[in-house]
Amino acid sequence: MKNRRGFIQTTLAGTAGLVFSRTSGISAATAQSVDSRVEILLDEPIGTISHNLYGHFTEHLGGTIYDGVWVGAKSKIPNFDGIRKELVEQMRKIKAPVVRYPGGCFADSYDWRDGIGPSDQRPRRTNFWLGAENDKSPASHKYDPNEFGTDEFVHFCRLIGAEPYLAANIRSLPASEFYRWVEYCNSPTGSTRLAEERAKAGSAQPYNVRYWGVGNESWGCGGNFTPQEYAVEFRRYSAWLPRYGQSLSLIASGPNSDDWSWTRGFFEEIVRKGSSQLGGIYGWALHHYAWNLSRGRTNEWEKGKGDAIQFDPVDWYEILREGERVEGLILGHWQVMSEFDREHRVKLVVDEWGPWYRPGSEATPGDILEQTPTLRDAVFSGMTLDIFNRHASKLYMANCAQLINCLNSLYLAHEDRFVVTPVGHVFGMYAGHQGGESRRTIFSAPSVQYDRDGKPATFWGLQGSASLSGKDLLVTVVNPHTTQVREAEITIRGGSASSAMATTLSHSDIHARNTFDNREGVIPQKKESVVRN
The secondary structure of 152-174 as a DSSP string is: HHHHHHHHHT-EEEEEE--SSS-
- Return all residues near 95 (Cβ < 8 A) that are at least 6 apart: 51, 54, 161, 431, 434
| CA angle 480–485–488, rounded 5-degree value | 90
Q: What is the mean pLDDT of residues 494-517?
A: 90
Asked whether 264 and 295 are in contact (CB, 8 A), the reply is no
Residues 263-318: pLDDT tens digits?
999 999 999 999 999 999 999 999 999 999 999 899 999 999 999 999 999 999 99
What domains, with CATH codes, occur in the chain?
5-47+459-528 (no CATH), 51-434 (3.20.20.80)
Mean pLDDT across the chain:
92
- pLDDT band with cut points at 50, 70 and 90 for residue 533: low
| Marked catalytic residue, from 352, 362, 370, 489 | 352
Confidence of residue 132 (pLDDT cuts 50, 70, 90): low
Residue 499: its pLDDT value, please? 82
The model's confidence at residue 180, banded by pLDDT at 50, 70 and 90, is very high
Given pLDDT bands bounded at 50, 70 and 90, which one contains residue 135? low
Q: Is 83 exposed, middle or buried (0-12, 13-18, 19+ CB in 10 A)?
A: buried
pLDDT at position 138 is: 78
Residue 58 near residue 402 (C-beta atoms within 8 A): yes
- Reported as a pLDDT band with limits 50, 70 and 90, residue 22 is very low
Q: Which of 129, 193, 90, 40 is nearest to 406 (CA)?
A: 129
Residue 19 has pLDDT above 70, yes or no: no
pLDDT in tens, 387-401: 999 999 999 999 999
Q: pLDDT-based confidence at 191, cuts 50/70/90?
A: very high
Q: Which of 86, 152, 163, 217 is catalytic?
A: 217
- Check residue 227 and report its DSSP letter: H
Among residues 118, 119, 124, the alpha carbon closest in space to that of 145 is found at 124
| Segment 239-262, tens digit of pLDDT | 989 999 999 999 999 999 999 999
Q: What is the pLDDT of residues 57-101, one digit of tens each?
A: 999 999 999 999 999 999 999 999 999 999 999 999 999 999 999
The confidence score (pLDDT) of residue 18 equals: 52
| Cβ-contact 395, 53 below 8 angstroms | yes
* pLDDT of res. 33: 72
Task: Give per-residue pLDDT as tens, 454-465.
Answer: 999 999 999 999
415 catalytic per annotation: no
pLDDT (0 to 100) of residue 500 = 84
Note the pLDDT of residue 351.
98
- In sequence order, the β-bridge partners of residue 463 are 478
352 is a catalytic site residue: yes
The answer on pLDDT for 9 being more than 80 is no
**% of the chain residues with pLDDT over 90:** 84
Query: So what's the pLDDT on residue 29?
Result: 30
